[in-house]
Amino acid sequence: MPLIAIEGVTKVYHLGEVDIVPLKGVSLAIEAGESVAIMGASGSGKTTLMNIIGCMDRPTSGTYLLDGRDVSKAGPDDRAALRNRKFGFVFQSFNLLARTSALENVELPLLYRPGVGSAERRRRALAALDRVGLTDRLGHHPSQLSGGQQQRVAIARALVTDPAVILADEPTGNLDSASEKEILALFSQLHAAGITVILVTHNPDIGAHAGRLIRIRDGRIVEGA
């Protein structure tokens, strides 16, 4: 059974009288432990697909089985819990809380997990920061860190919940090439450690890095389904 099984998924947004259809029937299966790159031009629907995979959004039609469970009809609170337990998000613009230490940023997702006390939260955050090699920057605020370091804090934040899947949307889009290499190496490490990594990008070099390449164009998968 695949970890992620998407069948005939469409997404329609109503903007006034105009309907925007970023996904026009997508079917896709991703096994646990895979390393996948979703590639497409801007406006191709790749971000919408990632939002649906990450339970940020619901498909208009079609089914989405996550670990065998149909989550395409899950309500907002259920999806919040799924995001907290199954996924770790990494964004192009890092999205770290300003004026907040690296450690506290990493602890953040555990705040929303019931039954995790402050001692455990700290222990797990330290472990996650250790995995990304930032144990010497615990008390630093995002403004005191370089772009590459900020993205590593964000990856630690994604790892702290022990997610099944890391979802990264253009994770190196705001970085110089040296930092990009570091971050991609980090993803490779995580993949090697058994985590499913899904990268969304329009950069072919990064796409080539992944074990499997899925190309999307005009809301349809054209390669790699």
- Supply the minimum distance, in Å, between the C-beta of residue 113 and another protein: 7
Q: Assess 215 for contact with another protein (CB under 8 A).
A: no
Q: Assess 14 for contact with another protein (CB under 8 A).
A: no
Q: Assess 10 for contact with another protein (CB under 8 A).
A: no
Among 1, 18, 69, 114, binds another protein (CB under 8 A): 114
- Residues 116/110, Cβ–Cβ less than 8 Å: yes
Cβ-Cβ contacts under 8 Å for 207 (sequence gap 6 or more): 37, 39, 199, 201, 213
- Residues 1/68, Cβ–Cβ less than 8 Å: yes
Which residue, among 42, 39, 41, 72, has the nearest Cα to 57 in the 3D structure? Answer: 72
Q: Assess 99 for contact with another protein (CB under 8 A).
A: yes
The site string for another protein over 61-80 (x = CB under 8 A, - otherwise) reads ---------------xx--x
Question: Checking phi first, is residue 142 left (phi over 0); if not, alpha (psi -120 to 50) or beta?
Answer: alpha
Binding site for another protein (CB under 8 A): 51, 54, 56-57, 76-77, 80-81, 83-85, 89, 91, 95, 97-100, 104, 108-109, 111-114, 157, 161
